[in-house]
């Protein structure tokens, strides 16, 4: 089983749609969770951290379910500019904590 798993997609949605991505992780001792965004041929950029109580930043909402070991990202009112790959990142304890990436979920928002 991979340490961090994501559905690669692509998710193809119209502008204005609501879309949700899930990510599962295998190590129950993991403590920190993040969503990054990666545009084509660019570096990953932090979108938001994911807190135990869930958190929201504008149109983006992140949630954590420790019992089921998954995190989610919800994007409301999708914009064309949201088209990108969304990377789930978990700090896995392996002696030291290592930011470990899922494969990423591709989102395409069309007019």
**Distance in Å, CB of 58 to other proteins, minimum:** 19
Contacting residues for 6 by C-beta, under 8 A, at least 6 apart: 21, 22, 23, 87, 88, 102, 103, 104, 105
Tell me how far, at minimum, the Cβ of 84 lies from other proteins, in Å: 14
Measured from the CB atom, the residue of 17 and 70 that comes closer to other proteins is 70
Binding site for other proteins (CB under 8 A): 30-32, 34, 41-46, 49, 87, 89, 91, 93-104
The least distance separating other proteins from the CB of residue 100, rounded to whole angstroms, comes to 6
Contacts of residue 37, defined as CB under 8 A and 6 or more positions apart, other chains included, come to 44, 45, 47, 84, 85, 86, 87
Kindly tell me which of 76 and 103 has the beta carbon lying closer to other proteins.
Answer: 103
């Amino acid at each position: 089983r991979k340490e961090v798993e994501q559905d690669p997609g692509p998710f193809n949605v119209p502008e204005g749609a609501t879309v949700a991505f899930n990510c599962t992780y295998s190590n129950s001792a993991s403590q920190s969770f993040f969503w990054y965004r990666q545009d084509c041929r660019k570096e990953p950029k932090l979108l938001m951290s994911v807190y135990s109580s869930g958190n929201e930043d504008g149109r983006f909402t992140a949630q954590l379910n420790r019992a089921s070991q998954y995190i989610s990202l919800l994007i409301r009112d999708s914009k064309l500019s949201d088209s990108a790959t969304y990377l789930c990142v978990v700090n896995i304890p392996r002696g030291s904590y290592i930011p470990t990436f899922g494969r990423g979920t591709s989102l395409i928002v069309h007019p």
